[in-house]
Structure 1
Amino acid sequence: MLTPFDDYPVHQTALPVAHAGGGHPDHYDRFWFNGYDEQMYFALAFGLYPSRGIIDAAFSVVHDGVQRSVFASGRIPLDRTRTSIGPISVEIVEPLRVNRILVDAAEHGLVADLTATARTPAHEEPRATQYDGTELRTDSTRATQMVTWTGQLASGGQDIRVNDGTYGTKDRSWGIRGVGERTPAAPRTALPQVFFLWAPLNFADECLHYVVMENEAGQPWLERSAGASLLLAPGETVELEPLQTFRMKGVGYLHPTWGHGRWHDELAVGGETFKVAELDTIAPDCVHVQQVVRAVWGDRIGLGVLEQLVIGSYEPGGFRGMLDGAPE
């Protein structure tokens, strides 16, 4: 099946661009952005699932103790340059340099016109590959880039100030990851287990980035730092002070209805609003979080996020069951 993008010299196999990932049902290709200061946080997720025929996106804001989201899902366009679905669009103004996101969902309380400009080069994280028995569950690549934001943002009818130079992150990932409804297979022989930390941090003159995924014994199966790790050397650490929390379900992660790669209709749009203080910290759809953090590194003071996801046992932290949290 030929599409307009086949006219560009981008092919990786003898197949047209529309045939992705060797036909694996969990192949995905995603944009992800966040932006934040000490008073507000916003994020956008935008994914394509070629083998499932689905495109979806979500945009979410935390401000004044409220988390508000809009979701959109539909049939994937044949033209992969059409990076829009419903009220949400992502524009590639200058590849690896400038992106623009547009949200026109006043009926769900969200309107945005925001431009991200690269603050750093894109950093290719290690390829993540994981099997569940003989089943390939994860095989993906992620490129992480620090950005700054300009533009306009409104939530719940209230304009939110986005100062020029507001910090944020651009995350582009693609490959195979569990999305949508699980394909028919034998029952799992072991319970799911995830320990994941992801920390892009901004300082005035430098940026740090750290990512780790560990098994239940605390052994890393993916780890990388760029610039420095959170423990730089004996006596030299980066202290993180949490300022506000964003539940990642706001952009589809672990969402019971708007999870990534699920078919809803030719076009479906929905929204939701929660008071942050009323969300259950260890509810299944709330355990995946990003916290805006103040970062102190010697005499430097910066701002960043610490993403956290823990499911199942994790011996170093004292986690035992699926979602029981750490011991007091």
Structure 2
Amino acid sequence: MDDYPVHQISEVVRHVGTSDRNFYDRYYFNCAPRFDGQGQSGVDGPFALIIGLGQYPNLGVADAFAVLRRGDDHLVVRASKALGEDRMDTSVGPFRLEVIEGLRRLRVVLEASPDNPDLSFDLTFTADSPAHLEARHFDRSLERVTFDTQRFVQSGTWSGSVTVEQVRTPVEDHQWSGNRDRSWGVRPVGEPEPPGRRADPAETERSCFFWIYAVLRFSEFVIITILQEDADGARIVEDAVRLWRDPERAPETLALPEHTLRFAPGGREVTHAELVFQRRDPSGGLADPLRVECTPAVACYIGVGTGYGLEQDWRHGMWQGPLTVQQLRRAVPEIAPWERMLCPVDNLVRCTLSEDGGIEEGEGLFECAVIGTYPRYGFHGLGDVAE
């Protein structure tokens, strides 16, 4: 890449523009059968596959994971390696990623090996909507920048195959869909840092991570929503847009997205969500709002075993040695309530859109986390649960 005129700073490409240890550069994908009248097409029981691959230049690490929810089986394969000098080497042990056509087609592969005998796949993602560059995500904690990230997101279809315990399942474009994103910048990664003042009860009492990330697919368009709020409901980041599959139609900004959530008693898992978007009419006045109701059908606990922070011995960007590959399995009913509460849940949802008197059915991703204090929904402390 250093032979191309792509440099952004007076350094070679492998050196990023900040010395912050938390700089990262990551891929995310989700893949699942579409819903039909009986459930998910072509599979028995809940099925969702989520894949991630990241590089951490200032930590000298690259890692990858895949987590499969199949019935009550939570199956994770994860790998970590020393990051080399070639940033275009997007392989980590049995994982590899190929950009076939930028912003259009990508291939992700997990090869079976003695370390991960139960899950492998060879999948190609083909975009069916334009890539959307989201609002920049920026936040500070005690004057330190904790988030300064950029991301684009895109919906699409999948083809190839997934093999679980030597049973191969074909994946075909007309039956399998999902979304992918690319994000990079600064966010907490690697080994835990000393908390210092952040451990003071006065600082933790109002600690909150409220997060909604939704990519909802309909016949002619995709609605994308991202929200993060503090404990008082103030927006740290918000973005909402309707992307039309017809490339001749301009994206439509959906202003002031509002949420109403219901939770399962005894925890914080969402059982129903309503998103309401304000819109402008051609004269600039307020038009009737657009409403989307979402009902989760498949929950994938993306934080369990994958590196998002629950396990202190395996976090994204943590040094695991020159190459380490691991497989682990959990029974979904045995995932503890505290684990479910302290990580985002990637829900595959059925959704209903109401607009101008009409109704349309859709489906997609509704990722949600309500961690810490969030009084609006009755959570006044870290351990509070829905009644």
Q: TM-score, normalised by structure 2?
A: 0.79
Is 2:99 aligned against 1:43?
no
Question: In structure 2, what is the Cα distance between the partners aligned to 1:235 and 1:23?
Answer: 44
Contact 2:24 2:187 in 1 (8 A): yes
RMSD: 1.8
Q: 2:159 aligns with which of 112, 128, 150?
A: 150
Question: In structure 2, what is the Cα distance between the partners aligned to 1:302 and 1:185?
Answer: 43
CA displacement at 1:277 relative to structure 2 = 2.2
1:238 maps to 292
List runs of 5+ in structure 1 lacking aligned partners: none
**Paired residue type of 2:27:** F
Q: 1:304 aligns with which of 364, 375, 379?
A: 364
For residues 187 and 105 of structure 1, do their structure 2 counterparts lie closer, same or farther at Cα, with a shift above 3 Å needed?
A: farther
Q: 1:262 aligns with which of 306, 318, 325?
A: 318
Question: In structure 1, what is the Cα distance between the partners aligned to 2:353 and 2:57?
Answer: 43
Structure whose CA Rg is larger: 2
- Please give the secondary structure, in 2, of the residue aligned with 1:187: helix
Matches within 5 A, 1:118-197: 118-165=127-174, 166-184=176-194, 186-188=196-198, 189=200, 190-191=203-204, 192-197=207-212
**Paired residue type of 1:327:** A
List runs of 5+ in structure 2 lacking aligned partners: 34-39, 41-45, 243-253, 258-274, 279-287
Stretch of structure 1 that moved more, 220-229 or 113-122 = 220-229
- Please give the secondary structure, in 1, of the residue aligned with 2:146: strand
Percent identity over the alignment is 32
Is 2:13 aligned against 1:17?
yes
Question: In structure 2, what is the Cα distance between the partners aligned to 1:245 and 1:195?
Answer: 18
Question: In structure 1, what is the Cα distance between the partners aligned to 2:342 and 2:74?
Answer: 12
Q: TM-score, normalised by structure 1?
A: 0.93
**Paired residue type of 1:301:** E
CA displacement at 1:27 relative to structure 2 = 0.4
Is 2:79 aligned against 1:72?
yes
Contact 1:44 1:251 in 2 (8 A): no
Stretch of structure 1 that moved more, 162-171 or 22-31 = 162-171
2:281 maps to none
Is 2:339 aligned against 1:283?
yes
- Please give the secondary structure, in 1, of the residue aligned with 2:361: strand
Contact 1:239 1:297 in 2 (8 A): yes
For residues 64 and 160 of structure 1, do their structure 2 counterparts lie closer, same or farther at Cα, with a shift above 3 Å needed?
A: farther
Aligned residues, how many? 323
Is 2:102 aligned against 1:95?
yes
Contact 1:201 1:302 in 2 (8 A): yes
